[in-house]
Amino acid sequence: MTARIGVISDTHDLLRPEALGALKASDLILHAGDVCSAELLGALERIAPVIAVRGNNDRGRWACALPASRTLDVSGYRIHIVHDLNELEGDARKFHAVVSGHSHKPAVLREDGVLFLNPGSAGPRRFKLPVAVARLTVGKTGLRARIVELPI
């Protein structure tokens, strides 16, 4: 069975219609922090179940319920989510994929057999970086990820 996972980060309380459109076919959505409002998570939940972690800008009672990091199993693949990759604890090789945000720089790379995915920022534009989300596909052939730049 193939799982289609939408990956988003650094929305900073701005959920663009283009981001919603890019995530609409998701079976699951991962938010890698800097959500900045519980309402934004609620809007994403209308598309698919959401798993989110707390970013450095997530504050208040609602944000206290979000863990700093989280590991989940999707079809036998261990996916770890943390806002800032510099806060990854331990050896990344115990995961099949590590999803992070914080830098606002979209990136997909493999290192030591681990897929590292940063969807970039889907919120306010920062510098000249693209506004983006990512698609992560989990299937029989493994994990595949791609960045989706939003046309804004």
**pLDDT tens readout for residues 9-20:** 999 999 999 999
What local confidence, expressed as pLDDT, does residue 19 receive?
97
The token duo for 91 is 């050896």
Residue 126: exposure state from Cβ atoms within 10 A (0-12, 13-18, ≥19): middle
Long-range CB contact pairs, 76-79, < 8 A, 24+: 77/138, 77/142, 77/143, 79/30, 79/136
Q: CA 144, CA 31: separation in Å to the nearest integer?
A: 18
pLDDT tens, position by position, 26-59 = 999 999 999 999 999 999 999 999 999 999 999 9
Domain ranges of the chain: 3-149
Tokens 């510098």 — which residue? 127
The fold of 3-149 is Purple Acid Phosphatase; chain A, domain 2 (3.60.21)
